Amino acid sequence: MVFADESSHQFLEEAKQIVKYYLLRWRIEDLFRVLKNGCRVEDLRLRSAVQLHRAVTIHMVIAWRLMLLTFLRRTVANASPKMMFTESQIRAL
């Protein structure tokens, strides 16, 4: 009977890990959705692979920050702008 309990526990842990990976996959899908629709990287008309790589790299940071802002808004009541921006950034906005 002990064997059944151990294998059940192992199965449960493996199932939790699979669910965790699946949820991470959706975060990646969300990132690319923001990159394509929010940042509109597909509309970039650049002349070289180097230019495209640089532009996408910058837009990835922007997309990640947009996703983080959305997450904080949904999960942290009364979130302060200081969680994401410096004082000078807040003044500029």
Predicted pLDDT of residue 1: 45
Predicted pLDDT of residue 4: 57
DSSP string, 56-87: HHHHHHHHHHHHHHHHHHHHSTT--GGGT--H
Taking only the tens place, the pLDDT of each residue in 12-30 is: 999 999 999 998 898 899 9
* pLDDT surpassing 90 at residue 8: no
- The CB density around residue 63, as the number of other CB atoms within 10 Å, is 22
Dihedral (Cα; 77, 71, 24, 9), 10-degree rounding: 0
Domain boundaries, the chain: 2-92
pTM of the predicted structure, to 2 decimals: 0.65
What's the pLDDT band for 57 if we cut at 50, 70, 90? very high
* pLDDT surpassing 50 at residue 2: no
What's the pLDDT band for 81 if we cut at 50, 70, 90? confident
